[in-house]
Structure formats: C-alpha cells, structure tokens
Amino acid sequence: MREGGAGPRVVAVVVTYNRRDLLVEALEAVRAQTRGPDAVIVVDNASSDGTAGLVRERFGEAELLALARNTGGAGGFATGTRLALDRGADLVWLMDDDTVPEPDALAALLAARDRVPGPPALVASRVVWTDGRDHPMNTPRPKPHASAAEVRAAREAGCVPIRSASFVSVLVDAQAVRERGLPIADYFLWNDDFEFTTRLLRGRTGVLCGDSVVVHKTRTFGSTDVDPGERFFYEVRNKVWLFTRSPGLAPAERVLYGGSTARRWTLTFARSQDRAVLRRGLFRGLAAGLRAGPRSNDEALRDLDTR
C-alpha cells in the first residue's frame, strides 16, 4: 500500500472465505506491487479458519471487514465495493483470495486506463493458471460488433475491447459504479461478476490489458462447463435473473449469450458423472429464478454491519 502520491485513489478489495494460505499469497502480492493501492479492504465471509486474526496480525495496513455470516462472493464484493466508495475510491481493484497479481499488475492497469480514450469504465487483467496458460474460466468476453475505431484505440493501448470481465482482477471506475450500482449480493455465487460488469459496460468502454497479469490459483485448469454438482442451482437461477431482470444486456445480447449458455450447459451435462444432481439443480434454479428476482442489497444484507 503506497503512502499518498499523485494520481487516482485506488482501493483494492479482496474477498475471502476459509482460504487463509491462499489469502496470504494474494495480500503479499498486493503489498509487493510496484504501484501499490492507496488502501486495501479485506472482506472475510465469516471464515472459520482464523482468517480474521491472521489479517489483523500480518496485514495491519489492510482494513478488515469481518462479516457475521457467509454472504458468498457476490455479497463480499457488494459490501467491499460499497466500503471502498465510502473510503473515497476513484478506482476499485477487485479480486478473489486465490488471485496472485504479478508485481506490475496494478501499474499496467493504470497505464492502460490512461491510454484508452474515455476513460474506460473498467480494465481487466490477463488471467493465467499456475502453469502460465490463459485461464479459460476467466477469459473476458470480447465486445461483439466493436467499431473499427474502438478496436484501433484499444489496440494502440495494448488492449482488447471486452463486454464483460470476472472478479479475478478488474479495475473499475468508482463513478461508473455510483451511476450503475453495486454488485448484487443475492446472487451469492456465480454470474455476479458477469451481471455487474455487463451492467457497467453497457454503452461504455471496457478493455482487457494483456500487460497486467495475475495468477488464478484454482485447484484445476478448466472452463465454466466443468461439473459444478449441487452448485449448478446458482448457475441456473442467476442466469435466469440476469437474462430476465438485469439491465446489463440488450435484447440481442440476451439471445446471443442465452444461446452460449445453453451450449455450455449441454456440455456440462454431457461430461457429468451424476446428471441427476444437475437435473435437480436445473429445475430448482429455473423455479427460483422465475418465481422472484434478487432482493436489494439493503434487504439481503440488513442483518450485517457492512461499513
């Protein structure tokens, strides 16, 4: 974390749950940035492995937001982003606890943001797995039908126009968040970053910066069509919410991404070792998603002290 200095105020938000060893790697990498964030917020989703004590003991420069219950990644990023805005952020750098940024990751994001006209509503890092391969789980969706001028401007900045990004290292403009809204806590798990970033980027510029590299230390190398088991419920419910209730996608995009989702689900079923579990998740998710939309953040988090 840097001590003052010129330029925008960057607040890093790291969300964690019961992965203290990975969190240590992530926070040490944030601490080692050549251009550090101006503040760091760690959102602990009621971990039971001593995470809160570890953060207080070893990373005293970070502000710890210890939640009384697990709100999922979605709730963690909603509460952390809101706190970052309260702390005067100009830019919010969002990442999971298994994200290890290279030393120049933040500096490269900021440099790209300065080069891209706009400035962009968000800049995403290139995400690789532990062996250096691009991680298919976190490859941002290229922007369909980007204009030649937009592609050229991004290319001249060493970037690619994108339509969405993941929470594995993305630098978002705080004013855009104030205008378009926070991540939706009720998503709990999965698709919260897709919904949030498409909402932020509708009609605006976002880019992938290849010079900013982070390692996503997932257990295995794979895409979003791997068998999720019981968690398939969240994938289905949240996609229904996104396609039917989110303002992030235009009608044509709903058709485009809806077709992509159907193909991915088909692959998930084809590769599953227990399709009965997936069928239950599919029917439960469809029913829950169609029955009611996500609650407001105030309602979903009203029992928590999130500031």
Distance separating alpha carbons of residues 53 and 305, to the nearest angstrom: 18
Distance separating alpha carbons of residues 244 and 238, to the nearest angstrom: 10
Q: Which of 197, 108, 205 is nearest to 149 (CA)?
A: 205
pLDDT at position 208 is 96
pLDDT at position 6 is 73
Instruction: Give the strand pairing for 170-173 and 91-96.
Output: antiparallel
Burial of 145 (0-12, 13-18, 19+ CB in 10 A): exposed
What is the 3-state secondary structure of 136-185?
A: HHHCCCECCCCCHHHHHHHHHCCEEEECCCCCCCEEEEHHHHHHHCCCCH
Distance separating alpha carbons of residues 64 and 85, to the nearest angstrom: 15
Q: What is the CATH class of 10-222?
A: alpha beta
Decide: 239 and 261 in contact? Cβ < 8 Å.
yes
Q: What is the CA angle 119-124-129, rounded to 5?
A: 165
Tokens for 42? 């760690």
Q: Is the dihedral of CA 200, 202, 204, 208 positive or negative?
A: positive
For the whole prediction, is pTM greater than 0.85?
yes
Spatial neighbors of 243 by CB under 8 A, at least 6 apart, are 249, 254, 257, 258, 261
Nearest-10 Cα torsion for 172, 177, 178, 183: -130
Could you list the mean pLDDT of each consecutive 10-residue stretch along the chain, which spans 307 residues? 75 97 97 97 96 96 96 96 97 96 97 92 94 78 86 91 94 98 96 96 94 89 70 95 94 90 90 90 96 96 81
pLDDT at position 2 is 60
Decide: 81 and 297 in contact? Cβ < 8 Å.
no
